[in-house]
Every structure is written in C-alpha cells, then in structure tokens.
Amino acid sequence: MKKETICIQGGYTPKNGESRMIPIIQSTTFKYDTSEDMGKLFDLEASGYFYTRLQNPTNDLVAAKIAELEGGTAAMLTSSGQAASFFSVFNLAGAGDHVVASSSIYGGTFNLFNVTMRRMGIEFTFVDPNCSDEELEAAFQENTKCVFGETIANPALVVLDIERFANAAHAHGVPLIIDNTFATPINCRPFEWGADIVIHSTTKYMDGHDASVGGCIVDSGKFDWMAHKDKFPGLTTPDESYHGITYAEKFGQGGAYITKATAQLMRDLGSIQAPMNAYLLNLGLESLHVRVQRHCENAQKVAEFLSQHEKVAWVTYPGLPSDKGYALAQKYMPDGTCGVISFGVKGGRAAAESFMKELKVAIIATHVADAHTCILHPANSTHRQLTDEELIACGVGPDLVRLSVGIENVDDIIDDLAQALDAI
Ligand SMILES: *Cc1c(COP(=O)(O)O)cnc(C)c1O
C-alpha cells in the first residue's frame, strides 16, 4: 500500500462485524482462564496482553500503523517524544558507553543527553551535522553504541545528511537512530537512506491537533545485532531479568530491539501512552498525508513572502533555494520539508516583541507542528534568562522568531504577518 492508504487503513483490518475505528481498550488488565495461560505470556512463549504497562491492544494497532508508514518491522508507543528518545538510546547504551549525536537536535533531547543521561554514566560526543568526514570519524570511540540525529532539526531547521551518517555508523558497527518528527514519513522515510531506528514525538504533526502528548519508536529490522555480538550484550546474551531470554535469538533481527525495549524498559520505567491518547493519535494519522502536504505548501508561500519583506533580516527554511539545507532537502524530501520557519525581524529583540503583539491569526504558543499557526520568540520566552551575547552564541539570536505554519488559508496567515510587520 502507498503511504496515503496506510495513513487510513494501516495497522488494523477489522474482521466481519467489528468496529471500523480501532477500539479503545481502556483497561489496565486482561483476564485468563488458567495461570498456565498467563505464565506463557510472562515467559514470552505466547503473545498476548496481561497488563497495559507492558502492552495494550489499542496502542499496538497504532504502533503497527506507524511501523508500516516508516517501512519498519516493529514499533512501540511511548508517553512522550522524550521517552522515545530516551528509550531508543538506553535500549543500546548504559553506564560506560558512548553515543555520537548531531549537535543540531531538539533542545529537550540535548538536555536529556547532555545532562540527565550523562549523570547515568553515558558519554556523548556532539558533532556539527555539516562537519567534515574526518571530524565525524574522530567522534567515534571503542565504546560507541549508536549515532543519533534529526532529519530536520527543531528549531535550527538544519537538514541531516542521513546517508552519510548511516554509513559512518555502520562502518563502526553501530546503528543510526533518527528523530523523524519534523519530516514525518510522508516527506522522508529514513530507513530508505540507511537509518536503523526511527523515533517520533507524535505530539507534533502525527497527532497534529494539539490534543495529546506521545512518542513512538520504530525498528527497521535491518541492523544485524548478532554480527556485533560483543557491542550489544543486552540483545545478544541472556536477559537474567527475563528468564534468560536472548532477544536477538528469540525474536530475530526484526523483533529483538522493540521486544527488549518493551519487556525490559517499559516494564521497569513505565512510560506508556494512554490508550485514549493512542486513539486520538490514530485520528491524527488518518489525515497526516493531507495535512503535511498543506503545511508544506503554506510554509513555502510564507517563507517566500518573508524572504522578500523589507523588515525581515533573514529567513531559514529548507524549502528556499537560498537555504543552506536546500540541496540536502531536495535529496531527502523532494515533496516538501516541514511547516516550521525561523526568521529574524530587523531591529532585534524590541522589533520582534512589537511584531508579535500585533499578530491575530498566529497564536503565541510553546509548540510547533500542528494545525494551528503558532509563533514563539525564544529570546522572550524559552531562552529568556540569556543575554543577547549568550543567545547569539547558542544560535538563537535575540531577533529569532520561530513560526509554525498551520493549515489555515495561507492568505490569512500572510495578511496577518504583513500587518504585524507594517506595525513595527
Ligand atoms: C517536541 C519534540 C521532541 C520531544 O517530544 P515531546 O512529545 O514533547 O516529549 C523530540 N524531538 C523533536 C524533534 C521535537 O520537536
């Protein structure tokens, strides 16, 4: 099936007389006739449900749809994108291990890696996504367990050369994990370019309606854990906390990674998505292909408008031919990139503030990538504690405005921006 059809029909095929929409199984527990039946589930001898912290049928149907969309072999939902990022790495790396990550990643992911996971004993080396081959090569260590990057970084909007990073990772016998939140599988399927694991903050375009926080992890099933047995003992040697199961042997290349993350990490850390939220996520997925296309069409027109406006100092949008990421975007996302644009208003912090006050269609919100057009001035909100010099040093200048273009009529969005720019 093509991705538009998978958005609607993937993951769930109702049988005769069953509900057309996925059922919401809002139940913590599942009943069994005998304790032998249940014992088989605990031994991972039979598949089935016993407790929603480990698995829930509603969540599994939605995860299966996302796995199909990405072209993967297995997937799981998590309570948030942050939980998905954490699990994706922690499933492979522990204290004493090392990870190579792109320096252009979501701020929350950067904190997770650079502060919280460092405290857990995992080391990170951050590399500029446009670094030289030598610099990339030099980032790897003996104990490197994976490479992490974002298809289009939030908020820097830097496009990652996925193929180059995949080749580097594979040359060192480790998988590439890609956060594909901004591109979505509608615009880019990282597995087709060599990525091994994909994660999402489903809170963004996938849900798409400001309705529910969630995350997802998808495995391509392409990484051969057994060929790198010593690097990944968690997958290739018996798990004593799970009756001595060796995940890579029992569940094969296509199932080992997600089964381990479910049976071990979800069991112990419990970052589950509520079945009701998974249902809402599925509603969002049904229109993902239509919405993403409109987000990109609208954002392209808005970016073109802004780049020609005399009061705008600069525009970053990978769909503009003048953009640094344009060539890579054309390669990886020929049908469109995302709906998020960043730009600078001439006159710096004060001009950006007065511009924001005048907006009526674009709402001020700490969020991106959903149906409603929204805007954020980091210098005045998320990065408020920093001086102008510090802001410039971290790549988020005092004049930077992040605009997430929604799916309203684009003329209304442009008129709104125009009147607010005129009022500066
Ligand atoms: C928002 C976001 C996250 C974190 O997701 P939450 O659902 O907010 O936990 C991770 N990566 C990217 C690219 C994001 O935009």
Q: What is the domain-level CATH number for residue 357?
A: 3.90.1150.10
Q: Last residue of a domain, which of 256, 282, 308?
A: 282
Pocket of ligand 1 (CB under 6 A): 80-82, 85, 106, 108-109, 150, 154, 179, 181-182, 201, 203-204, 213, 215
pTM: 0.96
- Between the CA of 280 and the centroid of ligand 1 the distance, in Å, is 17
CA distance 175 to 189: 16
- Counting ligand 1 atoms within 8 A of each CB, the residue from 150, 181, 184 with the most, and so the one to mutate, is 181
Tens digits of per-residue pLDDT, 356-366? 999 999 999 98
Task: Identify the bridge partners of residue 364 per DSSP, sorted by sequence position.
Answer: 375
| Residue 396 pLDDT > 80 | no
Counted domains in the chain: 2
271 and 364, same domain (yes or no):
no
245 and 324, same domain (yes or no):
no
| Residue 132 pLDDT > 90 | yes
Q: Last residue of a domain, which of 282, 303, 333?
A: 282
pLDDT value, residue 6 = 98
365 and 416, same domain (yes or no):
yes
144 and 276, same domain (yes or no):
yes
Q: Last residue of a domain, which of 255, 282, 309?
A: 282
CA distance 371 to 407: 5
8 and 132, same domain (yes or no):
yes
Tell me, what CATH number does 52's domain have? 3.40.640.10
- Counting ligand 1 atoms within 8 A of each CB, the residue from 78, 80, 82, 110 with the most, and so the one to mutate, is 82
H helix runs in 71-125, sequence order: 81-90, 107-111, 118-119
Question: Going by CA atoms, what residue is nearest to atom 8 of ligand 1?
Answer: 81
218 and 325, same domain (yes or no):
no
| Residue 184 pLDDT > 70 | yes
CA distance 42 to 267: 12
pLDDT value, residue 107 = 87
223 and 307, same domain (yes or no):
no
| Residue 387 pLDDT > 90 | no
- Counting ligand 1 atoms within 8 A of each CB, the residue from 77, 105, 154 with the most, and so the one to mutate, is 154
- Between the CA of 231 and the centroid of ligand 1 the distance, in Å, is 28
Q: List b or e across 92-129, with b for residues whose CB sees 16 or more CB atoms inside 10 angstroms.
A: bbeeebbbbbbbbbbeebbebbeeebeeeebbbebbeb
Tell me whether strands 340-345 and 312-316 are parallel, antiparallel or unpaired. Answer: antiparallel
175 and 81, same domain (yes or no):
yes
192 and 302, same domain (yes or no):
no
187 and 304, same domain (yes or no):
no
What are the CA-CA distances from residue 200 to residues 74, 188, 213, 409 (Å)?
A: 14, 13, 11, 27
The packing angle between helices 275-286 and 57-70, to 10°, is 30
> Strands (DSSP E) along 30-173, which ranges?
74-78, 98-102, 123-127, 144-150
166 and 241, same domain (yes or no):
yes
At residue 156 the predicted structure's pLDDT band, cuts being 50, 70 and 90, is confident
306 and 222, same domain (yes or no):
no
Residue 60: give the domain boundaries.
3-282
What is the number of other CB atoms lying within 10 angstroms of the CB of residue 357? Answer: 10
